[in-house]
Amino acid sequence: MQNTVEVSGKVHWIGTNDRRTHLFENMWPLEHGVSYNSYIINDEKVALVDTVEIGTASEYLDNIKSIIGDKKIDYVIINHMEPDHSGALGAIIHRFPDVKLIGNIKTLKILTAYFTINEENYITVNDGDELDLGYHKLKFVMTPWVHWPETMVTYDTTDKILFSCDAFGTFGSLDGGIFDDEINFEFYEEEMRRYYSNIVGKYSNMVQKAFKKLDGIPVNTICSSHGPIWRENPGRVLDLYNKWSKYETERGVVIVWGSMYGNTEKMADIIARHLVNNGIKNIKMYDASKTHISYIIRDIWKYKGLILGSCAYNSAMYPKMAQLCAELEHMQVKEHHLGIFGSYSWNGGGVKNLMKFAENIEFELIAEPAEIKGSPSEGNLDQLEVIAKEMAKRLKEDFPTQS
């Protein structure tokens, strides 16, 4: 049984679902799986837009044959060389040895690192170049660093389809529904934010540059490399990516702590209660040792307030908290209010290193840190209340109409 879906006339989705892999890029949990979307345009000339991850490609060539029969593939458009998009490229070249591979000059350098190809079959395209398939006319737009240096998107000027590669993608397999009007998007929205913040978010400035290049181009359908195809309301996903790449947030606070024996966690609970008493409803609390970092980063991308707590660990920060801070710095997360707290027994280190993080990342520190020796008690809780009050004040000023 072939797994193909018509997108628009001669354009078909021939992607695959991966529900077996535990970690995307061997890093990010795939609780709900992921889809690898590939598209074929069966015109006078046949063009394949990206391939799939090789581990899911057992029926991929059969799916292609079900669309084009005994015709050959004339072109493979390589929007992005990462193996979840190009893994099956070797199988395509083996089946269709004369196929022309289309990418930019940076694509070729990465392509030849993965595959042995006849470079005479490689066509280099530049920004704005076009390819005539017969009825369909394709235009190539360079979008470097969204999220590899060679990334580009392909625009079908005939049916106004944007083959957007990783842009506008999401974690989550396609469980029957392929199009946005066939799914409950609330299921995908949090996974889309987690995908964006962890995979693409570091390059948000390049996402904004891509938006400027595509400004004014009519888009009826968005065919991304992961997740649903947007045909009913492509503006919805465009708005979300535009918001996230501008670091626009909502009223709320993420509290993350690293605690060995529960004292720092008790401080987190006290702060959370004071936040509620000061009118803040959206509070997400995470034990850094238990929750995968990708879920924490997802919610940090959503909410303006961030409060971090660490016990002292060998005169340093709790290791899992240090990992989170290092990742936030690496991803160049911006525009947050920050509170800091922590505890120690015989020597400090947690709060001291959180303060170094605050200086490096340039978040607004909303109050002096709260550091407690031993257990929190009635005599050392005042600064925890101050942190909560100051955070609530800032959030109400930033979001006066949100609850």
- 401 in a domain, yes or no? no
Q: Do both 85 and 232 map to the same domain?
A: yes
* Residue after which a domain boundary falls, among 245, 270, 294: 245
d(CA 253, CA 160): 40
Q: Do both 222 and 260 map to the same domain?
A: no
Task: Note the pLDDT tens digit of each residue in 284-339.
Answer: 999 999 999 999 999 999 999 999 999 999 888 999 999 999 999 999 999 999 99
Q: In this model, does residue 56 exceed pLDDT 80?
A: no
Pair type for strands 46-49 and 23-24: unpaired
Mean pLDDT of 231-258: 96
Q: Do both 215 and 259 map to the same domain?
A: no
Mean pLDDT of 169-187: 94
Q: In sequence order, what are the residues at sequence separation of 6 or more whose Cβ sits closer than 8 angstroms to the Cβ of residue 24? A: 30, 34, 84, 171
Mean pLDDT of 132-161: 96
Give the containing element (helix H, strand E) for 395. Answer: helix 382-398
* Residue after which a domain boundary falls, among 196, 230, 245: 245
Check if the beta carbon of residue 234 is closer than 8 Å to that of residue 222: yes
Percent of the chain with pLDDT over 90: 90
Check if the beta carbon of residue 84 is closer than 8 Å to that of residue 47: no
Q: Residue 85 sits in a domain of what CATH number? A: 3.60.15.10
According to the model, what pLDDT value does residue 375 have? 86
Q: In this model, does residue 2 exceed pLDDT 60?
A: no
Q: Residue 284 sits in a domain of what CATH number? A: 3.40.50.360
- Specify the DSSP class assigned to residue 304: E
Range of the domain at 312: 250-396
Q: Do both 233 and 263 map to the same domain?
A: no
* The two three-digit tokens of residue 348, written as one number: 């400090």
Residue 136 burial (CB count, 10 A): 22
Chain centre to alpha carbon of residue 105: 25
Percent of the chain with pLDDT over 70: 100
Residue 66 burial (CB count, 10 A): 15
Mean predicted lDDT score pLDDT of the chain:
95
